[in-house]
Structure 1
Amino acid sequence: MSERVRGFPAFPARAGRGPFARSWWGRAWQRAMEDTALDRRPLRRGRQFAAAGLVGPIAVGPGRIAATVEDADGGPYRTALRLAELSTADWNRLLGRAADRAAHLAALLDRELPPELADDVGLLPGLGDLDPECDCPGWELPCRHAAALSLQVSWLLDADPFVLLLMRGRAEREVLDELGRRTSRPPEGVSAAQAYARARPPLPDLAAFTPVPRR
């Protein structure tokens, strides 16, 4: 399976903790979805669905995130979020900035996203950048299913900002290979081999980029 499509197993229900991101970039992702909502009720329902573990396995690839979401009123419903990929010029600027600053590269390897790096090319979505889709009968967008998916995606981002880079068009290995070509020395004493050793192995990919219902 291509590294440009990654699959993540469904999150279990969460007890005693709200469905809110811990990292600054995860919270920024959540705000991007919340700011598009004309009606707050689907957002509240989406938080409940996310915390209850009603979102199935999540498929992440360039420009698209997809899953199925269970619902007592029907479903499961096929839900997706679209996000534009970065242009070649934006990728060059982002990778150039990361290669020039050893601290930025070291932060990425530690699964941290430096604000300056993200702001330089508008890496995180802003108002209207997230385009939700769902085959549920509801008319509002984001619906509660898209809101639930978006919240759980912010949990993925908490653990690994390379998931955001994949959404924006490039897999982790592509990013690290290009950064290795652009820098003449390893970040803070980290060799390329050590960088790959420190990188978390990806979770198993889904069989396809089509969400798989939970049974």
Structure 2
Amino acid sequence: MTPRGFPAFAPGRARRPRTWWGTAWNRAWEADALDAGPLRAGRRLAAAGHVGAITVSPGRLAAAVHDGDTEQAYATRVRVAPLADDDWDRLAGEVAARAGHQAALLAGQLPRDLAEASGVPLLPGLGEITPECDCPEWDHPCRHAAALCHQVSWLLDTDPALLLLIRGRDAHTLVPTGAAAPAPAATATGDGPTSSKRSTGAGTAAAEAYARALPPLPPAPEPVPGAPTLPLLPPGPDVDVDALRSAVAVAAGRAAALLHAHRGPDAAPVPTDRDPG
């Protein structure tokens, strides 16, 4: 599976995760901590923007984290125990049985009841998280690993299905082949490195669509009988006056026909000739 990269968060205020999955992730990794001090220090580093670009690969989180001096950044990694093959089989079976779960995963969401229905613990338990850092600290986790984990909770706020990759596989491996992608939703903005939601179903690659030749335009519509008489249009730069006049005539004729149909067959006819003066 291809690792995913996320740009660094800009400095800002100290923040807590806003969603259930982000909050649950923090509870899970903080439960393994031996001391609350590095957790608070890590939260300050995360808020100060001292965590570099984050790479998420199956069972592994990685980023360069510094204490304020970018020249002295530490290689920080957090390893997360992957789920067993049997667990993935149970998750896949649950997803295959429920179209709602398939649509949610294709849209980048992670249904909370997926873990409950399948009995698979998506969140890591005690002993399943192993922080690694080349800093000289001995804390478990050190403040650099804590900062990385804090920012991962922010990523899960906008992309909760990322938790599946953290646990070993991409979300799309759970969706049966041929499952329909959800209809595109309205754009949702946020303040993290990923600021919009998007449909991830199959489609045409952008490069292929861009390279396609444009089809010819359809023939111009025929004038509608009884269309109003239009005034002469003055010529202008880059304007095809005849084409514009034809389009206006067609639109006016259709509008007159719709009005006549709405008024009923016994109504007085709509005048079609107008004095251009």
Give the TM-score band, short-chain normalised: 0.7 to 0.9
Runs (4+) of structure 1 moved beyond 3 Å? 172-176, 192-195
| Structure with greater Cα Rg | 2
Of 43, 46, 65, 2:42 maps to 46
1:90 maps to what in 2?
87
| 1:47 and 1:147 in contact (8 A); partners too | yes
Task: Give the number of equivalent residue pairs.
Answer: 185
Please tell me whether residue 31 in structure 1 is matched to residue 30 in structure 2: no
1:210 maps to what in 2?
none
Distance 1:88 1:41, change over 3 A: same
Name the amino acid aligned to 2:38: P
Distance 1:153 1:126, change over 3 A: same
**Deviations for 1:83-130, whole angstroms, at most 9, x for unmatched residues?**
111221111100110111122222323433222212421011122221
1:10 maps to what in 2?
8
* Pairs within 5 Å for 1:113-132: 113-119=110-116, 120-132=119-131
Normalised by the size of structure 1, how large is the TM-score?
0.78
Larger deviation: 78-87 or 108-117?
A: 108-117
Name the amino acid aligned to 1:24: W
Q: Say what the alpha-carbon RMSD is for the aligned residues.
A: 2.2
Name the SS of the counterpart of 2:131 in structure 1: strand
| CA distance in 2 between partners of 1:97 and 1:192 (Å) | 18
**Deviations for 1:4-52, whole angstroms, at most 9, x for unmatched residues?**
211111111123xx33111111111101121112211101110000011
Q: Among the aligned pairs, what percent are the same residue?
A: 54
| CA distance in 2 between partners of 1:163 and 1:75 (Å) | 29
| CA distance in 1 between partners of 2:163 and 2:2 (Å) | 12
Which structure is richer in relative contact order (CA contacts within 8 A, separation 6 or more)? 1
Please tell me whether residue 199 in structure 1 is matched to residue 200 in structure 2: yes
Distance 1:173 1:105, change over 3 A: closer
Name the SS of the counterpart of 2:65 in structure 1: strand
* Pairs within 5 Å for 1:132-171: 132-171=131-170
Q: CA deviation at 1:150?
A: 0.2
1:101 maps to what in 2?
98
Name the SS of the counterpart of 1:165 in structure 2: helix
For structure 2, the residue ranges without an aligned partner over 5 or more in a row are: 185-197, 202-277
